[in-house]
Amino acid sequence: GAVVSQHPSWVICKSGTSVKIECRSLDFQATTMFWYRQFPKQSLMLMATSNEGSKATYEQGVEKDKFLINHASLTLSTLTVTSAHPEDSSFYICSASTTGPEQYFGPGTRLTVT
């Protein structure tokens, strides 16, 4: 149980284009979904928290106009990196939670912007 999927698992895009990453909870309804960014050999950095039907809450320093988050249903959240640049290249991971503190993570999406 508590399976979270992410799509795509990896993507290469050209500078200036936008990329959408999907996060789905497959066997449970997620009260809250989270988006993280992870740099090589580092811990997770929380980007934003979203609840279904509400606007996402972004962490300090994360540009909400650049990283658009939509949480359309209890099983789906999307992160769109707009006008991507090489410095946006990273490993993006989503997670979902229900009523408890535990988070269930997706497998991650590796974004490379050329």
Give, rounded to a whole angstrom, the gap between the first and last alpha carbons of the chain. 37
Three-state SS at 86: helix
Spatial separation of the C-alpha atoms in residues 20 and 28, rounded to whole Å: 22
What is the footprint of other proteins within residues 40-99 (CB under 8 A)? 41-44, 46, 49, 91, 93, 95
Residues 14 and 89 sit within 8 Å (Cβ to Cβ): no
Token look-up 């410095």 returns 87
Q: Which stretch binds other proteins (CB under 8 A): 14-22, 39-47, 67-75, 82-90?
A: 39-47
Q: How far is the CB of 107 from other proteins (least distance, A)?
A: 5
Spatial separation of the C-alpha atoms in residues 21 and 67, rounded to whole Å: 11
Q: How far is the CB of 4 from other proteins (least distance, A)?
A: 8
Residue 106 binds other proteins, judged by CB under 8 A = yes
Q: Which of 37, 104, 111, 113 binds other proteins (CB under 8 A)?
A: 104
Q: How far is the CB of 10 from other proteins (least distance, A)?
A: 9
Residue 89 C-beta-side C-alpha neighbours within 13 Å: 11
> Where on the chain is the footprint of other proteins (CB under 8 A)?
2, 4, 6, 34, 41-44, 46, 49, 91, 93, 95, 100-108, 110
